[in-house]
Structure 1
Amino acid sequence: MSVLPLIFTAGWASGINAYAVVFLLGLFGRIGWAGDVPPGLQRTDVLIAAGALFLIEAVADKIPFLDSFWDAVHTVVRPASGAVVSALIAGQDDSLPTMFAAAVGGTTALLSHLVKAGTRMAVNTSPEPVTNIAMSTVEDLSVGAVITLAVFFPVLAAAIAALLLAIGLWLLYLCATRIRRYLHRRRERRATRTLGARPAE
């Protein structure tokens, strides 16, 4: 059976929480639940690093404005992680070319990352911690549930991931005005700091 459903799901999940994907897939492979997980993800040092980074993200992702900064930093990290994980999975199977798998995983991760980052910008136009904590918790639980499902029922998990991605892109479109407002406020804050830093003439 093709590993494409698992690759698509891993890509979608990587765009939301790349460290959780690496940790969960590596853990499931380590305990023998998933046969398609490459040995590189099952290494002890990889599991420890991914677990530690996941804990850091679990905190940073729940703090207003810090979450958007964290997303900005991970604009490259998440798609790259999705591409690498997908390529490694494809390397365990001859049904897909590695480069194609990397393209699918990386592109899917980029799209889901844009959804995550964009919706968080919209939320931060009215910053308060409850919404950020709730959104972050739902995202973490969704990634964990879908990745776990993908180990046993990859096609079903891929269908759910595709549905969640479509809903996310639709919400991103609806939130476009709020996102522009957030970006405008951020530019204003930067301009204010720049003017304040200039020496008086």
Structure 2
Amino acid sequence: MPLIELLGIAASASLLAGWRMYLVVLATGIAMRTGYVPLPDHLEGLQVLANPWVMGIAALGAAAEFFADKVAWLDSIWDAAHTFVRPVGGALLALAIVDPGDPAMQVVAFLLGGGGALAAHGAKAGARAAINTSPEPVSNVAMSTLEDAASVGLLWLIYEYPWAAAGVAALLLALTVWLVLTLRKLIRRVFGRRNPPPAGEGDHAKHGGGAPSA
């Protein structure tokens, strides 16, 4: 398999793990065990995900995440608790995908996989925290369901069509960067409103800030 396709699969899986780590592990394990989705032959490292114990734990985690993600306050707690778990999971997924005989590529995959998962997790958690401030539950449930469907669909896409994996990774990375920048602007706007300049300071600056004449 070409290197660009291999790196695309590793990057996409890691970024998706930043959203739905348990679901990514479970879906990959099911695909490996049933052969329903023809995964690339060289991904021997992912065979461990087809282990019944691994799939069972991933299924429990995916089920818990599915329901926790639909409740605003519980979703924020869940995301905070997985700030360390998701990046590590993304790094290990990327590590399992690349060639085990190339130590340099393994290091690169581990670092980039962990960094990508951390960035995706941060963007996802921040976006959901902003949505969770809404008193109505519809937007939170709708966004959570969209994340579930997108994670499964994109995971199937990169395994079924490895040549598209690099494009999927680029799309996910662009979405992550856009979310981070949008959240940064939102945070600055909110804190800017909460911390107005002291009374008189604006007028003082407007008139030049000089000392009053005698």
TM-score over 0.5 for the alignment? Answer: yes
Provide the C-alpha distance between the structure 2 equivalents of 1:134 and 1:11, rounded to a whole number of angstroms: 23
Provide the C-alpha distance between the structure 2 equivalents of 1:122 and 1:62, rounded to a whole number of angstroms: 14
Q: Identity over aligned residues, as a percent?
A: 39
Letter in 1 for 2:70: K
Partner of 2:62, secondary structure, is: helix
CA RMSD of aligned residues (A): 2.3
Partner of 1:128, secondary structure, is: coil
TM superposition score normalised by structure 1: 0.82
8 Å CA contact retained: 1:125, 1:178: no
Partner of 1:65, secondary structure, is: helix
Structure with higher Rg: it is 2
Matches within 5 A, 1:1-201: 1=1, 2=3, 3-32=6-35, 33-34=38-39, 35=41, 36-37=43-44, 38-91=46-99, 94=102, 97-176=105-184, 178-179=186-187
Stretches of structure 1 that go unaligned for 5 or more consecutive residues are 183-201
Partner of 1:25, secondary structure, is: helix
Q: How many residues align?
A: 183
Letter in 2 for 1:15: G
Provide the C-alpha distance between the structure 2 equivalents of 1:156 and 1:116, rounded to a whole number of angstroms: 23
Provide the C-alpha distance between the structure 2 equivalents of 1:15 and 1:156, rounded to a whole number of angstroms: 20
Letter in 1 for 2:27: L
Letter in 2 for 1:22: V
TM superposition score normalised by structure 2: 0.77
Compared CA separation, residues 14 and 129, structure 1 to 2 (3 A): same
Stretches of structure 2 that go unaligned for 5 or more consecutive residues are 192-214
Provide the C-alpha distance between the structure 2 equivalents of 1:91 and 1:30, rounded to a whole number of angstroms: 21
Letter in 1 for 2:112: V
Letter in 2 for 1:138: L
Letter in 2 for 1:8: A
Provide the C-alpha distance between the structure 1 equivalents of 2:95 and 2:112, rounded to a whole number of angstroms: 9
Compared CA separation, residues 177 and 126, structure 1 to 2 (3 A): farther
Q: Which runs of 4+ in 1 moved over 4 A?
A: 91-96, 177-182
Aligned to 1:194: none
Provide the C-alpha distance between the structure 2 equivalents of 1:149 and 1:92, rounded to a whole number of angstroms: 24
